[in-house]
């Protein structure tokens, strides 16, 4: 079968070259579109339910919110672990799924079960799903700093919540923009319990009056002079004075009783349990960019930076956006460092090919298969959705040294045939076919054995599997591409490029030096075969011994 493939490739040289060109174009597109990150995502497939239950103690939150939610989520299909955490006024439930579960399928199942348990929760408890992100979704953090001191942290928080947040959420790949620090402005009604008792009014009546006093009501339309005029009652609260003027009823004398008569109404900060500080220079307001699951971290960060640069024009005078955490710096350093190592490895491999083949055209045939094989690996990576990170690129780096031997052996065999039969235009492809078929099957299966050598890595599970599987995948893809190229493209390139004077192997000075060192050692081990085997077993035992 391998011999037939080699003959077909040589007989259909045009299609092989055309297919190679198409693979190069597809590979370059895959390199451009492959997501980039520093490390593989090791986090579990999880869905978070956050429930706010304002003012309640942790034990109450546990009994009335966390426990009902966790017991309901235990029945979600595919859920392996359900964890609940109760805090003052907040409940968090983490549902961890099997690692092969699709995140959005898991979220839909959680929503389905949440809709069943939500009616049994307290009226003030508001459950909501966390962002469709993973544990490593934090890709960018910024802080709002006002060096002029004209804007307090309350205004800065309003700027974050009502301006920056909504604009940044439009960036492709952003799942959530979380705010931290500052003070959330709120209208506060501080009821005097003595006056409340004196008027015989329950506290719930005040809450109902405020809700009724902050709404608009439509009243159909009025037709006048062939025109329709909409009638509505505008009752939205616009200021503290409007809130103070809300009527609660009348007193014994028939005088209207207003909210300001029994309560203090003013603007104040919402209760907070933490602060955000930058470099010990005082409080600031910050924003956390959470990347959506499966997105390209580098593209998301670039989009956020571009949007922030655009939004700077609309910020108040003196307010600056200061980057606090930027994962793109880590990504760039990691990928750049590994890229440099790959180039160094490629240069060394190229030099070795030129030295040992001692023929530039022959070395070119062997070397050109490297980038093509790597591009083929990137095509499969892109189709599979693998990120380009330290581990996946490391797999390609491991494969580079093992991708060339097949091409080199086939080229050297071509050299030997050229020594025996000088090439002419008439016999060129016959010599190429004979040389390739002679060693092609053995080379293909030897490369195939190396290809499957990382199969045990795929048996790893959980975090270790997510860490090392990208390395095993890319190494396998690169070696498989090398095996395919060895029996298709290499014979065709040999026929086109290898020509001219070929220096015999025994006249290559490097080969002569290495042979002078190797031959005595070979004669020695062949003279004492039993001792050689025993020495090998001894080294093996020493290596295994703890």
Tens digits of per-residue pLDDT, 209-260?
Answer: 888 888 888 778 888 888 888 888 877 888 888 888 888 888 777 788 888 8
Report CA Rg, the chain: 36
Conformational region of residue 433, where left means phi above 0, alpha means psi within -120 to 50, and beta covers everything else: alpha
Q: Which range among 28-42, 112-126, 265-279 has the greatest average pLDDT?
A: 112-126
Check residue 41 and give its pLDDT.
82
Is the per-residue pLDDT at 278 higher than 80? yes
Question: 115: Cβ–Cβ under 8 A, 6 or more apart, which residues?
Answer: none
Domain 2-33+358-507 has CATH 2.50.20.10: no
Number of Cβ within 10 Å of residue 528's Cβ equals 11
Domain 186-269 has CATH 3.30.2090.10: yes
Is the per-residue pLDDT at 329 higher than 80? yes
pTM: 0.78
Is the per-residue pLDDT at 143 higher than 80? yes
The Cβ-side half-sphere exposure at 250, using a 13 Å CA radius, reads 4
What are the pLDDT digits (tens) for 31-88? 888 888 888 888 888 999 999 998 899 999 999 999 999 999 999 998 999 999 999 9
Check residue 66 and give its pLDDT.
94
Is the per-residue pLDDT at 105 higher than 80? yes
Q: What is the domain partition of the chain in residue ranges?
A: 2-33+358-507, 44-132, 186-269
DSSP code, position 283: B
Question: 137: Cβ–Cβ under 8 A, 6 or more apart, which residues?
Answer: 131, 175, 290, 291, 292, 293
Beta carbons of 240 and 266 less than 8 angstroms apart:
yes
The torsion angle over the Cα atoms of residues 164, 169, 174 and 178, rounded to 10 degrees, is 50
Percent of all residues in the chain with a pLDDT value above 90, rounded to a whole number: 28
- What is the Cα–Cα distance from 253 to 329, expressed in whole angstroms? 72
CA angle 115-121-122, nearest 5°? 140
Report the mean per-residue pLDDT for the chain.
87
Check residue 512 and give its pLDDT.
80
What are the pLDDT digits (tens) for 168-222? 999 999 999 999 888 888 888 999 988 888 888 888 888 888 888 888 887 788 8
Same fold, 44-132 and 186-269: no
- What is the Cα–Cα distance from 395 to 389, expressed in whole angstroms? 10
Mean pLDDT of 274-282: 84
Check residue 26 and give its pLDDT.
94
Q: Which range among 92-106, 338-352, 420-434 has the greatest average pLDDT?
A: 92-106
Is the per-residue pLDDT at 505 higher than 80? no
Q: Which of 90, 89, 70 lies closest to 79 in space, CA to CA?
A: 70
Check residue 62 and give its pLDDT.
94
Q: Which pLDDT band, with edges at 50, 70 and 90, does 545 fall under?
A: confident
Check residue 84 and give its pLDDT.
94
Question: 17: Cβ–Cβ under 8 A, 6 or more apart, which residues?
Answer: 492
Q: 44-132 — its CATH code?
A: 3.30.70.1430
Check residue 546 and give its pLDDT.
60
Is the per-residue pLDDT at 359 higher than 70? yes
Q: Name the residue with higher pLDDT: 535 or 509.
A: 535
Check residue 375 and give its pLDDT.
92
Check residue 177 and give its pLDDT.
93
Q: Which of 343, 351, 348 lies closest to 393 in space, CA to CA?
A: 343
């Amino acid at each position: 079968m391998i011999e037939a493939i080699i003959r077909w490739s040589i007989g259909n040289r045009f299609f092989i070259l055309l297919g190679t060109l198409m693979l190069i174009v597809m590979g370059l597109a895959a390199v451009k579109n492959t997501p980039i990150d520093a490390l593989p995502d090791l986090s579990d497939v999880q869905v978070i339910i956050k429930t706010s239950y304002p003012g309640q103690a942790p034990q109450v939150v546990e009994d009335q919110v966390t426990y009902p939610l966790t017991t309901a989520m235990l029945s979600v299909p595919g859920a392996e672990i359900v964890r609940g955490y109760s805090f003052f006024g907040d409940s968090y439930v983490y549902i961890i799924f099997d690692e092969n579960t699709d995140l959005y399928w898991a979220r839909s199942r959680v929503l389905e079960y949440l809709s069943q348990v939500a009616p049994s929760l307290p009226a003030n408890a508001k459950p909501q799903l966390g962002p469709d992100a993973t544990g490593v979704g934090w890709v960018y953090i910024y802080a709002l700093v006002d060096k002029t001191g004209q804007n307090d942290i309350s205004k800065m928080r309003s700027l974050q919540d009502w301006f920056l947040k909504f604009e940044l959420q439009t960036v492709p790949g952003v799942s959530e923009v979380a705010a931290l620090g500052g003070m959330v402005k709120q209208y506060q009604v501080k009821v005097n319990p003595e006056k409340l008792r004196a008027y015989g009014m329950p506290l719930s009546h005040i809450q109902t009056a405020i809700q009724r006093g902050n709404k608009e009501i439509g009243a159909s339309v009025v037709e006048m002079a062939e025109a329709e005029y909409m009638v509505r009652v505008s009752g939205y609260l616009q200021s503290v004075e409007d809130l103070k003027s809300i009527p609660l009823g009348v007193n014994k004398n028939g005088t209207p009783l207003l909210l300001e008569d029994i309560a203090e109404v003013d603007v104040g900060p919402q209760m907070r349990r933490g602060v955000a500080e930058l470099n010990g220079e005082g409080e600031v307001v910050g924003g956390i960019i959470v990347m959506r699951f499966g997105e390209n971290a580098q593209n998301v960060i670039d989009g956020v930076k571009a949007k922030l640069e655009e939004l700077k024009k609309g910020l108040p005078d003196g307010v600056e956006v200061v980057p606090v955490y930027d994962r793109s710096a880590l990504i760039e350093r990691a990928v750049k460092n590994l890229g440099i190592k790959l180039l160094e490895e490629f240069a060394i491999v190229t030099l070795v090919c030129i030295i040992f083949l001692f023929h530039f055209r022959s070395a070119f045939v062997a070397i050109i298969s490297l980038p093509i094989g790597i591009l083929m690996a990137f095509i499969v990576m892109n189709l599979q959705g693998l990120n380009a990170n330290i581990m996946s690129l490391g797999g390609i780096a491991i494969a580079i040294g093992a991708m060339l031997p097949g091409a080199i052996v086939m080229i050297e065999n071509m050299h030997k045939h050229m020594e025996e039969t000088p090439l002419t235009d008439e016999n060129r492809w016959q010599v190429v076919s004979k040389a390739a078929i002679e060693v092609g099957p053995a080379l293909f299966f030897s490369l195939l054995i190396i290809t499957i050598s990382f199969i045990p890595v795929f048996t790893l599970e959980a975090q270790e599997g997510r860490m090392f599987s990208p390395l095993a995948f890319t190494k396998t893809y690169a070696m498989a591409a090398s095996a395919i190229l060895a029996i298709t493209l290499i014979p065709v390139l040999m026929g086109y490029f290898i020509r001219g004077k070929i220096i015999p192997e025994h006249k290559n000075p490097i080969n002569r030096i290495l042979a002078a060192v190797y031959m005595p050692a070979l004669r020695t081990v062949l003279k004492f075969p039993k001792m050689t085997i025993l020495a090998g077993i001894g080294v093996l035992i020493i290596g295994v011994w703890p």
